[in-house]
């Protein structure tokens, strides 16, 4: 029987990787550390800290407004990231013409501040230099650059210069600081989800054994981490993500035996670059490369503000982005699922509407399609799609639920 495995965030918890709510706490802790700057050249760290703290406070307030306990429920990291993206793009949203004003703090956060000059020193210098040829040069400069009329009174000159410099100091950022915050959140992901110790992923050995038994296994993951690659490497099992083939040919190659891994939302050790057209390929294209010696902290420290964010889809707003391999990966998952009789879902919250649509289509295609779910909280989840699965599939005995953590669930399912 052909089968496909789908991994969600819950499948990586036993490796020490936080879930979506704990990940928010990790980011908040990180930005509020005394030595927060992600890289030694990150001059925007104070502004990024203010943005993240402000948005988290707003999201927690929203929970309180809807009669939820904000301290108990917390904030999903994707909701936090969605807020950052929305504010970065707020002037370009279709609804923007109908929004009279935003929270005053948003405009304050999103102002571009040029380095503030020492106005008193400038004024003193002008006063001291205001004689002879120096005065003429200064007055010419002021007339050309700051004001049309200038009296001989040095205090008046100083006042007008001060107003001109102050007006030039702050201007609307058009989403700049929110865009930078989104980029820095992606950079922080690397330190949170990367695993170096193979012993932390030994609970995934049943997946390796299943691959060897069936000769071929297709695993799809919604996670950015390296847990599957790490366990495969530690067990001398080749793991094919197909990203090299896609970057070279524009198509994924998951043919043949072995462990094939579809990383639907990208990978923390992938980076993308835009290539110009060539004679062979006349149109511009995106190339995704795997960083074989990826070490998150060292990479950020070495490159500072020039470090490229990982090629991942983070947040709900860009799940169908046309840039990069992500639509092709989603299509590949759909094709592989159609050829499977069994879908094993591990630690997935069923919050991704695009993935849920493909699962629904697959379930409707044949009464022989069986869904197995490993999730200790599946039967108590309030997610609407999970409610539908429990209600519809249990009537037809096509849903197998294993309410255990990943390690125990895999042992039971593959026993």
Cα 357 from Cα 385, distance rounded (Å): 10
* Same structural domain, 378 and 317: yes
Least confident stretch, 13-22, 39-48, 128-137, 190-199 = 128-137
Is it the case that residue 280 has pLDDT exceeding 90?
A: no
* Same structural domain, 75 and 133: no
Average pLDDT, the chain: 83
Task: Note the pLDDT of residue 155.
Answer: 56
* Same structural domain, 105 and 125: no
Band the pLDDT of 186: cuts 50, 70, 90: confident
* Same structural domain, 257 and 386: yes
Give the residue with greater pLDDT, 354 vs 156.
354
Task: Note the pLDDT of residue 205.
Answer: 97
* Same structural domain, 160 and 260: no
Under 8 Å between Cβ of 270 and 311: yes
Least confident stretch, 19-33, 153-167, 308-322 = 153-167
What is the tens place of the pLDDT at every residue in 336-360? 999 999 999 999 999 999 999 999 9
* Same structural domain, 12 and 131: no
* Same structural domain, 66 and 208: no
Under 8 Å between Cβ of 7 and 346: yes
Task: Note the pLDDT of residue 394.
Answer: 77
- Six-digit token string for 229: 């690659």
Q: Do β-strands 270-275 and 216-221 pair in parallel, antiparallel, or remain unpaired? A: unpaired
Under 8 Å between Cβ of 4 and 340: yes
Give the residue with greater pLDDT, 372 vs 38.
372
* Same structural domain, 343 and 233: yes
Q: At what angle do helices 353-365 and 326-338 cross, to 10 degrees?
A: 20
DSSP H or E segment with residue 218: strand 216-221
CATH code, domain with 371: 3.40.50.1220
Is it the case that residue 59 has pLDDT exceeding 80?
A: yes
Distance of CA 94 to the CA centre of its chain: 23
Task: Note the pLDDT of residue 290.
Answer: 87
Is it the case that residue 139 has pLDDT exceeding 80?
A: no
The count of domains in the chain is: 3
Three-state DSSP at 69 gives coil
Mean pLDDT of 83-102: 85
Cα 278 from Cα 296, distance rounded (Å): 33
Other beta carbons less than 10 A from residue 384's beta carbon: 11
The answer to whether residue 98 is domain-embedded is: yes
Mean pLDDT of 390-414: 91
- Six-digit token string for 102: 């935003």
Mean pLDDT of 275-304: 73
Band the pLDDT of 73: cuts 50, 70, 90: confident
Is it the case that residue 301 has pLDDT exceeding 60?
A: no
Mean pLDDT of 19-46: 83
The answer to whether residue 7 is domain-embedded is: yes
Mean pLDDT of 59-73: 86
The answer to whether residue 184 is domain-embedded is: no
* Same structural domain, 124 and 51: no
Mean pLDDT of 331-336: 94
- Six-digit token string for 319: 């799940």
Mean pLDDT of 87-108: 83
Residue for token digits 């990940």?
A: 23
Give the residue with greater pLDDT, 214 vs 37.
214
DSSP H or E segment with residue 344: strand 342-346
Is it the case that residue 215 has pLDDT exceeding 60?
A: yes
Least confident stretch, 29-38, 77-86, 114-123, 127-136 = 114-123
- Six-digit token string for 80: 């936090």
Cα 156 from Cα 33, distance rounded (Å): 45
Report percent pLDDT > 70 for the chain: 79
Task: Name the residue range of residue 50's domain.
Answer: 20-113+173-179
The answer to whether residue 166 is domain-embedded is: yes
Mean pLDDT of 111-129: 53
Across the strands, what pairs with 274? Answer: 286
C-alpha dist (Å) from residue 265 to 87, 333, 347: 22, 12, 16
* Same structural domain, 26 and 10: no
DSSP H or E segment with residue 343: strand 342-346
What is the tens place of the pLDDT at every residue in 122-137? 555 555 555 556 555 6
The answer to whether residue 66 is domain-embedded is: yes
Task: Note the pLDDT of residue 295.
Answer: 77
Band the pLDDT of 28: cuts 50, 70, 90: very high
Burial class (CB in 10 A: 0-12, 13-18, 19+), 193: buried
* Same structural domain, 11 and 157: no
Residue for token digits 């511009």?
A: 284
Count of residues making up the chain: 415
The answer to whether residue 284 is domain-embedded is: no
Cα 173 from Cα 152, distance rounded (Å): 36
* Same structural domain, 332 and 364: yes
The answer to whether residue 295 is domain-embedded is: no
Task: Note the pLDDT of residue 150.
Answer: 44
The answer to whether residue 281 is domain-embedded is: no
């Amino acid at each position: 029987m052909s089968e496909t495995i789908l991994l969600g965030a819950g499948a990586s918890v036993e490796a020490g990787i936080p879930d979506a709510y704990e990940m928010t706490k990790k980011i908040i802790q990180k930005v509020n550390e005394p030595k927060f700057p992600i890289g030694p050249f990150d001059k925007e760290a104070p502004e990024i800290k203010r943005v993240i703290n402000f948005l988290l406070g707003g999201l927690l307030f929203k929970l309180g407004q809807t009669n939820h306990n904000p301290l108990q429920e917390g904030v999903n990291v994707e909701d936090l990231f969605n807020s950052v993206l929305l504010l970065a793009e707020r002037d370009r949203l279709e609804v923007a013409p109908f929004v009279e004003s935003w929270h005053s703090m948003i405009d304050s956060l999103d102002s571009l501040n040029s380095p503030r000059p020492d106005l008193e020193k400038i004024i003193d210098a002008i006063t001291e230099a205001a004689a002879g040829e120096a005065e003429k040069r200064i007055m010419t400069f002021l007339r050309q650059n700051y004001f049309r009329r200038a009296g001989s009174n040095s205090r008046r000159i100083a006042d007008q210069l001060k107003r001109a410099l102050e007006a030039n100091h702050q201007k609307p950022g058009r989403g700049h600081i929110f865009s930078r915050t989104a980029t820095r959140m992606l950079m922080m992901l690397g330190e949170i989800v990367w695993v170096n110790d193979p012993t932390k992923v030994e609970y995934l050995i049943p997946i390796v054994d299943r691959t060897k038994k069936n000769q071929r296994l297709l695993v799809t993951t919604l996670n950015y981490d390296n847990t599957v690659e790490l366990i495969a490497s530690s067990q001398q099992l080749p793991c094919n993500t197909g990203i090299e083939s896609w970057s070279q040919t524009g198509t994924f190659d998951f043919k043949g035996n072995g462990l094939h891994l579809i990383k639907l939302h990208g990978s923390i050790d992938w980076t993308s670059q835009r290539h110009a057209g060539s004679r062979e390929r006349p149109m511009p294209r995106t190339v995704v490369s795997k960083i074989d010696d990826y070490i998150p902290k060292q990479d950020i420290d070495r490159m500072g503000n020039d470090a490229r964010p990982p090629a991942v889809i983070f947040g709900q707003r860009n799940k169908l982005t046309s840039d990069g391999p992500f639509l092709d990966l989603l299509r590949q998952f759909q094709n592989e699922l159609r050829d499977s009789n069994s879908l094993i879902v591990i630690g997935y919250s069923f919050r991704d509407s695009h993935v849920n649509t493909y699962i629904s289509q697959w379930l409707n295609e044949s009464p022989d399609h069986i869904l197995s779910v490993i999730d200790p909280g599946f039967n108590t989840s309030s997610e609407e799609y999970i409610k539908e699965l429990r209600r519809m599939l249990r009537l037809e005995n096509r849903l197998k639920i294993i309410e255990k953590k990943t390690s125990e669930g895999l042992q039971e399912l593959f026993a």
